[in-house]
Chain A
Amino acid sequence: MEPVTKATLQVFRKKLSPAKLLLPSSFIDANEKELLEMDFPNSRQEAWKYTRLNRVAKINLESTPSSIIDWSSYLMVKDAYNFVFQNSECIYKSPDLPKGVSIKIGDEIGAMDWLSSINEGHVAKLNVAHAQNGCVINISNGVQLDKPIQLLFISDGPKQPNFWRNQLQHGKGAKADIHVGYFSKDAIDSYSNVHWSVFLKENSHLIMTKIQNDGDANYHFSTENISQLKDSNFTLNTLTLDGSFVRNDVLVKVEGENCETHLNGAYIMKENQHVDNHTTIDHIFPNCNSYELYKGVMDDKSTAVFNGKVFVRPNAQKINAFQSNANVLLSNDAAVNSKPELEIYADDVKCSHGSTTGQLDEEAIFYLRSRGISEAAARQLVVAAFMQDVFLKVASNELKSYIYQQLAVRFNLYLQEKD
């Protein structure tokens, strides 16, 4: 394997347009300086130990004009405030936002709208440098949304680079449900890089569910930086249903007491697909709870990486942090690398993690078969039952049925292929 050198990152960037998004120039300039010193990380760097970027570094990105698409076919739930991005364009904006909610898109965003955010690593820095579009959502204090906000990001065309940057400010006591969907169309060696900065004020309540349904030829990098203030409650569901290469970096900073954090994830991988979930929950204040559940099924030659970190800082007493990762390997060519980590600097805490890797319960399959269910259908049932734990965490029933439907489609296609 040839070593990746500084030049590789610069070559990779050559055809990318600079950020036209509205990040203050001071922001971009400082970032640029650091970026010039950086390179694609190699597998010697701990955070990229199991995810090789050589394939990514080699792609030749080029913006292509986008086609006309029927975005409504991508909708995950019917009744929502919808926003649709196709490459760097916002092609649909919900006209009727409720009082107290503002969503600014592209040029509407002023330099002052951006709050300072953490941008570590090459993925986040590339995003700062090349972000083309995105939204800044402000939900005012005390606003409780009657229906979810639904954001669709569609990557269209071969070799298409997409950098989306979003920010969400969630007011005191506000309550909202946000569905984010990532899709791709006609993708061949496409690249998307999406960044979210989420700020939860005191006593707010937010459920963010992201569906990654990118298909087979897109490299998808997603970063979420979350900051939680006192008494807030945050849930992030990451459901990777399809995607040839997916990397998720989630960082939750719990910056107030009595917070609750839930991170749930599911990944179902086949062929040569690769998924990498990196999560960090940083407990800075006492009296908080966090729960993490990631489950995955890997078939064919697919690989999965899970790296979950829980930090408990000194004096952050009375923390309960639980983390669990379970994997099923369906094929002998699939692989999983799991690395749950605890770093604890306070003593009055209860923290645990568990990680398992195994296969489907043959007895359960035998039971189903003895009742006349075909082998393939039995396997599908058992897989669905295994993943159920995570899907049940999705609060919205409509979204849940969307997920099941997607899975059924995938499995049926898949079962036909196998038969």
Chain B
Amino acid sequence: MERSRSPQWWMHLFLMGYVVVLLFPLLWLFMSSFKTNREITVNTWALPTSFNFDNYIAAWETANIGKYAWNSTFVTVVACVLTLLFAAMTSFAIARMKYKKTNKAIYQFILLGLIVPPGALFIPLYRLVQGIKLFGQPLYDTHWSLILVYCTYALPITVFIIYAFMLSIPNELEEAGIVDGLGATGLFFKVIIPISLPALVTVFILNFISNWNEYILSQLFITSESLKTLPTGMATFNDGYRTNFASLSAAVIISIIPVLAVYVFLQRQIIEGMTAGSVKG
């Protein structure tokens, strides 16, 4: 092979250079998070003199990060599970059940959602959420406002991906189930769902990351301090502590660490899941 003889060291040099430039800011921030404000200004490039966690304790206590992280986890997980359940049910109905015309109409109707950017709808959406009552309680300023809206805006892409997968499942598997006496619901839970697991995992990750990182809606719908999610809480902290770099660095690191930890273990699935969403023009 001719190719194997061509030198590659300069390509590695280039890529390594790029990776260092790309990731160095995170390292710098990490080092800063153990320093005092004065040290950050005076000894920017030096390693921290000691690993003192004062900044972390201060950030954790004043920024309320634990509470925000819990709120984010709750909203994200519930929204993702609901999205997955609803989207899988709908995809099953329109991909596997025998109602040709309605199936096609519903599919195309749902795909319209991929065209309209939610960004253009903030004002009517805000008014709507303010006006809705759920079981006699206002929806505004509750986690459910976020959960329902996140779920709605994740549905088109989720249906799009799961539908394509379910359409490709061969009929024979279903027929075997029918012979065993399964009805539509049984087929859905016992045959189709287990086979569709890879697609379900992909969209779960895709939705998880976008809900976890969502900022604007959470800022519009949630006003109570104790209900804020991580991105909004961080932004509030940022506004209040703009000059306290030591605490700010620690807060940013605290909010990044769990994400990076998960990424280290699930990078292949995360990359696959997130890029699967790229059809969302």
A binds B: no
